[in-house]
Amino acid sequence: MPNASFVGSVGNLIGNWNYKLFGFISYVYPFLLIYPAVLNYRNFKKLNLKFVGNIVGTVLLFFSVLLLLSMFSKSYGGAVGAFIIDSLISVIGSVGSVVFILMIFFIAFGLAFDDRLDIVIKKAFIEQTKSSNTQNGSNLSKFSTKNSDPKSNLNENTNLKDEPNLEQKWRIKQKTKEPLEEIQNVEKDKIEDEISQNNVIKDEPLMLNGVEILNEVAENKELLNQLEKGKIEKPKDFKLPSLDFLNDPPKRSKSVNESEIDQKIADLLDKLRRFKIDGDVVRTYSGPVVTTFEFKPAAHIKVSKILTLQDDLAMALKAQTIRIQAPIPGKDVVGIEIPNKNIETIYLKEILQSEIYKNAKSELTIALGKDIVGDPFITDLKKLPHLLIAGTTGSGKSVGINAMLLSLLYRNSPKTLRLIMIDPKMLEFSIYNDIPHLLTPVITEPKKAIAALANLVAEMERRYKIMSQTKTKNIETYNEKVKKEGGDTLPFIVVIIDELADLMMTSGKEVEFHIGRLAQMARASGIHLIVATQRPSVDVVTGLIKANLPSRISYRVGQKIDSKVILDQMGAESLLGRGDMLFTPPGSPGIVRLHAPFASEKEIENIVDFLKDQQPVVYEESFLKDSGVEASEQGVALGETDELYEEAKNIILSEEKTSISYLQRRLKIGYNRAASIIEQLEQAGILSPINAKGQREIIR
């Protein structure tokens, strides 16, 4: 016992009573109590059966060790141990007592440490064997290196003439040289194979009770690998915004909380068994918003039965909502997505500073957010080539559209990208007014929106006419050809419609016709659509629009039928909001769940102000004129010319420059009006039609 001067009289009294009651085990059991204390600290928020089992196992383990000590000598186990042993021996005898105590010990060990004693010993023995094999392998490789060249050993020992049997040893070495080398090579190959296997094991996913914890989604990685890699050309006369305008994300720990995942798996399997659904969880993905479990049902379980339990499982797991994907395309498992307790906010800066975004070659790369494991996810608008978006109020639809817009502005100058924004609600896009990328002011009136779409169809046809004359198939090859000849390139045009339903109510047939034509034909001309709506009903998202907009994004919608309209399957009604979305990539049978990044209004304002300071905006007012295409065609036919026609004619004849952009800069007019004047000069016979090099010649 400790001296009273060291622990005081109270400590000495407690120590004496402990020793009398529990004997030698009194020195050990305070340390055993540390284990349940740690468990209690980790699980203080929630008392569960597994935690209770750990506590009971620790207590039983303590008493089993106490009784084993008392079997050797009653003084070792103290008064408590002696009393229990005497009672046991009187009832079941000495042999029965030993068997009973050992049985309690093994049961207690399993409850306390969640594993059987024999498995723990086997694991320890295997690890020790592996480490010793690795050490022996390294020693063998050293030995092989030393003795790999017998001639060098002979040269080192030729001076030792006094050593007996030297010549005899050399002959033996010569005779056994080839077999030795073969043995060494075989051993070396074995060691290399073992090392390579160890390296493979390191790259394998983390395992938790037979469940793989994966940190990447193979399907998403394959989609990202299909994107073109390269560097975009930086504009010479325009400065792109810096990432410093965006807020830095908070530092987060990337470690996987194994105990939390283990608890979720146990809860999920327990609830499924209550509904008589047998099976096992084979894989799990942990991310910033949801944790996904791949559940492999038993052979006799119907997938439709699991789907009907979505609401029941959500209630049983106390989750806001869960999403069941049954089955996952290309797999024999069912995906069950459960929201995390703490949902992380994803910042736009995380996506824009990622390597996958920086190394994307396309000018129209848009940031969609992060996937279910927290990896950045982007896509190429040129490949989509148009996007249909749906989502109710508060679903994060506007946040996602802003992220797409900003990701385009971070890669393009007004020379390579022009925007048309149609915002009938007059709220969403007003902040972007007067940025130099705009082709027209932000359109808020439905009539002007219809006129802009009609004129955009005419612009598409004009571009195709130019491409046919230059014998090019799309805008990329045309721009490459024109660049080599020193001509003017065509910018990409992205049209963003924030509320399709409002336009369809005003003039549904015209809107449907123009969107249908653009969606069918505008891809090669460099014109792309992003169409959004709050109400994806069949009278808004018509069959013609759906057929021509294969790539879709759905944020949270109100009903299952809305999800069916936008995605052709259910699931969007089970999303969480706050930017949680489902994305259908082009050419892919599956759906990708993503979480949109957030950019505050202050960040957007700073970026917009920076862009405005770069250069003033030049609007193409002709895009907003009703029936502008027919009027211009009739005007040329009737001999009516633009009021700047004569001035433009004098500039071209005196300076001998026929490019549209040069005329646009000299007259300080929009691109569309300058192109119209050039066409009038061509009709008048002053300029030749555009040649294969993308240039016009002065005829007179």
Looking at every residue in the chain, the average pLDDT score rounds to: 79
pLDDT at site 603 = 95
To the question of whether residue 391 is assigned a binding role by annotation, the answer is: yes
Residue 684 pLDDT class (50, 70, 90 cuts) = confident
Least trusted range by pLDDT, from 139-148, 186-195, 493-502, 613-622:
139-148
- Distance CA(228)–CA(264), nearest Å, equals 39
CATH class of 389-398+408-614: alpha beta
Here the tokens at position 388 are: 């249909």
Per the confidence metrics, is the pTM higher than 0.75? Answer: no
All structural domains of the chain with their residue ranges: 4-114, 120-204, 389-398+408-614, 636-683
To the question of whether residue 394 is assigned a binding role by annotation, the answer is: yes
Q: Distances in Å between the alpha carbon of 373 and those of 216, 255, 287, 344?
A: 6, 12, 4, 12
To the question of whether residue 393 is assigned a binding role by annotation, the answer is: yes
- Distance CA(672)–CA(675), nearest Å, equals 5
Residues sharing a CB contact under 8 Å with residue 228, sequence separation 6 or more, in sequence order: 360, 361, 362, 380
pLDDT at 688 over 80: yes
Cα R_g (the chain), whole angstroms: 38
- Distance CA(420)–CA(403), nearest Å, equals 16
Least trusted range by pLDDT, from 26-30, 389-393, 620-624, 688-692:
26-30
Helices 671-683 and 660-667: crossing angle, nearest 10°? 120
Residues sharing a CB contact under 8 Å with residue 700, sequence separation 6 or more, in sequence order: 685, 686
Query: Of all helices (H) and strands (E), which one includes residue 408?
Result: helix 397-409
To the question of whether residue 70 is assigned a binding role by annotation, the answer is: no
Give the pairing type, strands 387-390 and 376-380. Answer: unpaired
Residue with tokens 């949270």: 556
CA angle in degrees (0–180, nearest 5) for 88-91-97: 40
Evaluate whether 494 touches 523 at the Cβ level (below 8 Å): no
**What's the pLDDT tens digit per position in 146-201?**
344 444 343 444 343 444 443 444 344 444 444 444 444 544 454 444 434 444 33
Output the CATH code of domain 636-683.
Answer: 1.10.10.10
To the question of whether residue 398 is assigned a binding role by annotation, the answer is: yes
**What's the pLDDT tens digit per position in 103-121?**
888 887 777 776 555 555 5
Residue 556 pLDDT class (50, 70, 90 cuts) = very high
Here the tokens at position 202 are: 């390191």
To the question of whether residue 447 is assigned a binding role by annotation, the answer is: no
CA proximity to 429, closest of 482, 499, 476:
499
